Amino acid sequence: MSVLKIHKGDQVMVISGKESGKAGKVLRVDREKHRVVIERLNMIKRHTRPNPKKNPQGGVIEREAAIDVSNVMLVCPACGQSTRVGYRLTGDGGKVRVCRRASCGKDIDKA
Ligand SMILES: [Zn+2]
């Protein structure tokens, strides 16, 4: 199984499709399907029946649809630019993601 470089809570930039160029926060990651749901991006309308608990009126609900992870890039919290992700091994056997921009190179995760 490949490891996804995008994690829940990350800031990402969409690089293709109708939301290309927009950025947002990752709400959910689907590891099996390699898809991510980004806050207020790729909204779709869903027609729903009335549901007494969630939505008594029914009608049209807008919600985020998942985007393939290959269509997004991580936004580096240090330099604020979209970047490819590298890894740096930490002393205790763990690893942290790092920004691959030559001008930055900072850790994305806390070591
Ligand atoms: Zn950076």
pLDDT tens, position by position, 56-95: 888 898 999 999 999 999 999 999 999 999 999 998 999 9
5-18 pLDDT, tens digit each: 999 999 999 999 99
- For ligand 1, the distance from its centroid to the CA atom of residue 50, given in whole angstroms, is 46
CATH no. of 1-75:
2.30.30.30
Question: What pLDDT shows up at residue 48?
Answer: 86
- Mean residue pLDDT across the chain: 93
Domain map (residue ranges) of the chain? 1-75, 80-111
Instruction: Determine the average pLDDT of the residues in 31-38.
Output: 96
Q: In sequence order, what are the residues at sequence separation of 6 or more whose Cβ sits closer than 8 angstroms to the Cβ of residue 48? A: 55, 58, 59, 60, 61
Cα–Cα distance measured from residue 74 to residue 6, given in angstroms and rounded to the nearest whole number: 7
- For ligand 1, the distance from its centroid to the CA atom of residue 61, given in whole angstroms, is 36
- For ligand 1, the distance from its centroid to the CA atom of residue 63, given in whole angstroms, is 30
pLDDT reading at 2 higher than 80 = no
Q: Which helix (H) or strand (E) holds 62?
A: strand 59-64
